[in-house]
């Protein structure tokens, strides 16, 4: 439930309460008291639910948002390290880049990334389609893994920046920790392990597992995805993937392993 839906629900509840009070006056005193008690209980339940929803929404935080500079060696854009709320972004800008983030309600989607970041992701995903089909399960699952890390409005629940640098008087994310459900990660890797590329049918891990190639594993695959250009990878931020089935504490903060429905 977003803030607008919450406002409407409260408004409707209050109007119903007022209307109920007016209607109750038509009944004998005993029934009036019973009706008022029931309506008060209903309104209290509605307010309690609203507070719980509001609290849940407030917990959604971004630990990175937008770009704050460029890497001197690679010219790659570097994401800002922040502590703020997700920002609404036009649905049309999300569609086709991070479809898993789309909400069927409304024209805007709360996200921890901006339009420029989405365009960069779009270009990078397009580069990957030179190796594998954009319709393949591997591509769709990889796309979602990246989008959730940098764009999910729930980003702070499973992703945290644990090292920053200063660029143009702004904090830039240098390293991050991404906690992912172990079973989910292994299943995701399986969708990529046997995926054949357009390059003579060679399997994808040969290109996306660094020096390990055919001896790739879930951990090695994710380590390559999270490696920087200096390490032979493509990520602007060094991402340490932590695979777990239970919450993990990082820098005193508890992170819940990310998992999603696989394609």
pLDDT for the residue numbered 230? 85
Q: How far apart are CA 162 and CA 206, in angstroms?
A: 30
> What pTM value is reported for the model?
0.75
Quick one: how far is CA 121 from the chain centroid? 14
Quick check: 88 pLDDT over 80?
yes
How far, CA to CA in Å, does 167 sit from each of 45, 69, 227? 49, 6, 21
For residues 24-36, give the mean pLDDT: 54
Q: pLDDT over 90 for what percent of the chain?
A: 57
pLDDT for the residue numbered 126? 94
pLDDT for the residue numbered 68? 92
Q: How far apart are CA 47 and CA 41, in angstroms?
A: 10
pLDDT for the residue numbered 233? 87
Q: How far apart are CA 186 and CA 180, in angstroms?
A: 10
List the structure tokens of 121.
């992701």
Q: Is 31 exposed, middle or buried (0-12, 13-18, 19+ CB in 10 A)?
A: exposed
Q: Is 149 exposed, middle or buried (0-12, 13-18, 19+ CB in 10 A)?
A: buried
């Amino acid at each position: 439930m977003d803030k607008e839906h919450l406002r409407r629900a409260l408004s409707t509840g209050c109007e119903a309460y007022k209307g109920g009070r007016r209607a109750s006056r038509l009944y004998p005193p005993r029934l009036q008291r019973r009706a008022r008690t029931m309506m008060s209980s209903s309104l209290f339940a509605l307010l309690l639910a609203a507070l719980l929803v509001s609290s849940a929404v407030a917990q959604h935080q971004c630990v990175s948002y937008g770009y704050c500079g460029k890497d001197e060696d690679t010219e790659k854009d570097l994401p800002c390290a922040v502590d703020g709320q997700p920002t609404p972004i036009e649905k049309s800008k999300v569609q086709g880049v991070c479809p898993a983030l789309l909400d069927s309600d409304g024209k805007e989607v709360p996200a921890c990334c901006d339009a420029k970041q989405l365009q960069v992701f779009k270009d990078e995903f397009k580069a990957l389609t030179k190796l594998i089909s954009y319709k393949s399960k591997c591509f769709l699952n990889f796309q979602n893994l990246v989008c959730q890390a940098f764009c999910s409005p729930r980003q702070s629940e499973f992703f945290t920046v644990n090292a920053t640098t200063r660029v143009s008087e702004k904090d830039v994310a240098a390293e991050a920790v991404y906690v992912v459900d172990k079973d989910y990660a292994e299943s995701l890797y399986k969708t990529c392990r046997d995926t054949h590329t357009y390059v003579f049918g060679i399997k994808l891990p040969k290109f996306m597992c660094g020096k390990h190639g055919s001896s790739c594993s879930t951990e090695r695959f994710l380590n390559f995805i999270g490696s920087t250009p200096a390490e032979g990878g493509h990520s602007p931020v060094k991402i340490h993937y932590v695979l777990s089935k239970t919450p993990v504490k990082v820098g005193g903060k508890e992170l819940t392993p990310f998992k999603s429905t696989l394609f």
